[in-house]
Amino acid sequence: MDVHNVFLHGELDEEVYMTPPPGYYIKWETHEDHCLFTLTTPTSLTLILVYVDDILVASNDLSQVTFFKSVISNHFKTKDLGPLKYFLGLEVARSPSGIFLNQRKYALDVLVDSGQLGSRPSPFPMEQNLKLNDTNGDPLLDPAPYR
């Protein structure tokens, strides 16, 4: 889901304190997943991941997903982007044997940005057993692309 919010880049003059909705809590509270909320019932697990204005909802109970989407849509203008295909640099592919994650698009974007898309792979990108030091070779004219 994508949340359209005109105040996304606005400045707040007051402090805002937020608590998760009833039933949702941060189960594994760490710095790495402070935007992950879970709802656990005897028959279902619902995970909600919030990143800026994007929300990822996953559950083994479709009614929980539908309910969450309707509640959020009542408070914010949202757009349902359908089944997950791409999120935060990860491509998601589904098949009968499972869900597969890859970073193919991200890797291609890095190659395009660095001007290396047409480059050919090499089994050994540099001489083997080469002893490097700061006096060998000529300095690069523009080392920025290699940083």
Residue 55's domain comprises 2-82
Residues 11 and 43 in one domain: yes
Tell me, yes or no, whether 18 lies in a domain.
Answer: yes
Fill in the amino acid letter for 66. Answer: T
66-93: pLDDT as tens digits: 999 999 888 888 888 899 998 888 999 9
Q: Which of 38, 62, 82 is the last residue of a domain?
A: 82
Total domains present in the chain: 2
Q: Burial level of 39, CB count in 10 A (0-12/13-18/19+)?
A: buried
Q: Is 118 helix (H, G, I), strand (E, B) or coil?
A: coil
Q: Is 62 helix (H, G, I), strand (E, B) or coil?
A: helix
Tell me, yes or no, whether 74 lies in a domain.
Answer: yes
Tell me, yes or no, whether 78 lies in a domain.
Answer: yes
6-64: pLDDT as tens digits: 555 567 677 766 666 666 555 555 556 678 888 888 999 999 998 888 889 999 999 99
Residues 38 and 73 in one domain: yes
Instruction: State the pTM of this model.
Output: 0.58
Tell me, yes or no, whether 147 lies in a domain.
Answer: no
